Structure 1
Amino acid sequence: MAGIQKAKSEETQRRVLEAAVKAVEAGGLEAVQIRKIAADAGYSVGSVYKHYEDQDALVTAVDTVTLARIKAAMAAAVEGVSDPLEQLKALARAYLAFAQEHRNLWRTLFALKMAEGVPTPEIHVQELVDLLAFIARPLQQLEAGLNDDALAARTRTCFAALHGLVAISLEDRFVGLTEDTLDKEMMFLVERLAGRS
């Protein structure tokens, strides 16, 4: 009996999360409305709150799905690529492609700020660590002298720089790049960040 209840509970949680992901895909962070998501999933509002403490917890779960999808895109991008600089370029292009194709999920990933004192769920943290590891591995090959702390800092710097370029460009900011120059300048940035001129 306990096994059946557990399976039903897991199914409810899965369906609610699927409905939330679809809502974000369609309308961004503003579309995360518990009542509507509960109805779309076929459950009561109470069922949603049984699995997700509040709206922030549900958005965090959606963000974890988004990170896993970005990670899968990055894994596919570097499959069969052995040169570390080419790996970094492939990762940059995969990140841009994901942001372009899944703009609402990508925007939502960076839109939620956790309330003070609320820890980020461990699974979310692990997805972030795994994503950054894709960047760290080729960087380590290119700069073998970096210790662990320096490598972690360089990895975050590279991700932040690339994300900034992509964000400014995709949000049509004044200093953003148009699509025809974005790839070229992104490759320029990757080469400089990787210590190649």
Structure 2
Amino acid sequence: MPRPVITPEQRRETRERIRSAAAMLVRQGNPEKITIRAVAKQAEVSVGTIYKYFEDISDLGRSLWEEPVNELRAQMSDIAESIDDPTARIHALLCAYVEFAREKHRVFRGAFLYVRPDSRPIPDQTALEEEPYFQFLTSAIAEGQETGAIIDGDPKMLAQLLWAALHGALALPINIERIAFDPPEQIADAMIKSIMALIDKNE
């Protein structure tokens, strides 16, 4: 007897069921310890079923963050298109990053603070120039340099330094919880002020 045909809607439902199970496990514990078998048990599906939808546990993990991260990129694109002044644009881009970390803290931890265990393979890397956030920062810095508003220097390196400094301000209190740092967002807000004071020639 032939197997019943699975409809596209059923496929979507199964995929979302697996993702929901994985998200629940992430909320309950350490994402690094989550396995395909644990997700299968939570979703009440077979391990083989999960592999029909996701390559491995890393692919499943990425699917949890993909939608909100793409929403962040869309927000960054709106900022890049709507703010003409490059200095104000840089400030808005930095603030949006902090706001994302504040409002989507679970996603931020999973997508931006995840440290790959040595036991898992290095993922395929995307060129830095292909990341929209980096593109928006670099473009704004270069435009600001053309008008004399932003300090001189390689725009690509400056963009990396800005992103690294802000990300570090958010990550440090989370990654080293045994030390009583001020709240991450408070440090990040102060970091933005420091960054803008350093790069803005009008400050």
* Fold shared per TM-score above 0.5: yes
Q: 1:168 aligns with which of 165, 172, 183?
A: 172
Match runs of 1:96-115 below 5 Å: 96-109=98-111, 110-113=113-116
- 1:81, CA displacement in angstroms? 1.7
What code does the residue aligned with 2:123 have? T
Which one has a larger percent helix, Structure 1 or Structure 2?
1
Higher relative contact order (CA 8 A, sep 6+): 1
The 1:27–1:65 alpha-carbon spacing in structure 2 relative to 1, beyond 3 Å, is farther
How many corresponding residue pairs?
A: 190
Match runs of 1:1-197 below 5 Å: 7=8, 11=12, 12-13=14-15, 15-17=17-19, 19-21=21-23, 23-24=25-26, 29=31, 32-35=34-37, 37-38=39-40, 43-78=45-80, 80-109=82-111, 110-113=113-116, 118=121, 120-121=123-124, 129-144=131-146, 150-169=154-173, 173-176=179-182, 182-194=188-200, 197=203
What code does the residue aligned with 1:82 have? D
The 1:55–1:180 alpha-carbon spacing in structure 2 relative to 1, beyond 3 Å, is closer
- 1:51, CA displacement in angstroms? 2.7
The 1:189–1:150 alpha-carbon spacing in structure 2 relative to 1, beyond 3 Å, is closer
Answer with 34-43 or 185-194: which moved more. Answer: 34-43
- With normalisation by structure 1, the TM-score equals 0.69
In the TM superposition, what whole-angstrom CA distance separates every residue of 1:7-26 from its partner, at most 9, and x where no partner exists?
46962445534553565467
CA distance in 1, matches of 2:78, 2:72: 10
The 1:87–1:41 alpha-carbon spacing in structure 2 relative to 1, beyond 3 Å, is farther
The 1:75–1:7 alpha-carbon spacing in structure 2 relative to 1, beyond 3 Å, is same
Where structure 2 has 5 or more consecutive residues not aligned to the other structure, the ranges are none
- 1:95, CA displacement in angstroms? 0.9
The 1:186–1:158 alpha-carbon spacing in structure 2 relative to 1, beyond 3 Å, is same
- 1:94, CA displacement in angstroms? 1.1
- What's the Cα RMSD here? 4.0
CA distance in 1, matches of 2:49, 2:29: 23
The 1:83–1:20 alpha-carbon spacing in structure 2 relative to 1, beyond 3 Å, is farther
CA distance in 2, matches of 1:22, 1:75: 31
Contact conserved, 2:169 with 2:187, CA < 8 A, in 1? no
Where structure 1 has 5 or more consecutive residues not aligned to the other structure, the ranges are none
The 1:182–1:28 alpha-carbon spacing in structure 2 relative to 1, beyond 3 Å, is same
- With normalisation by structure 2, the TM-score equals 0.68
CA distance in 2, matches of 1:57, 1:175: 33
Contact conserved, 1:24 with 1:31, CA < 8 A, in 2? no
What code does the residue aligned with 2:18 have? V
Larger Rg, first or second structure (1 or 2) = 2
- 1:155, CA displacement in angstroms? 1.6
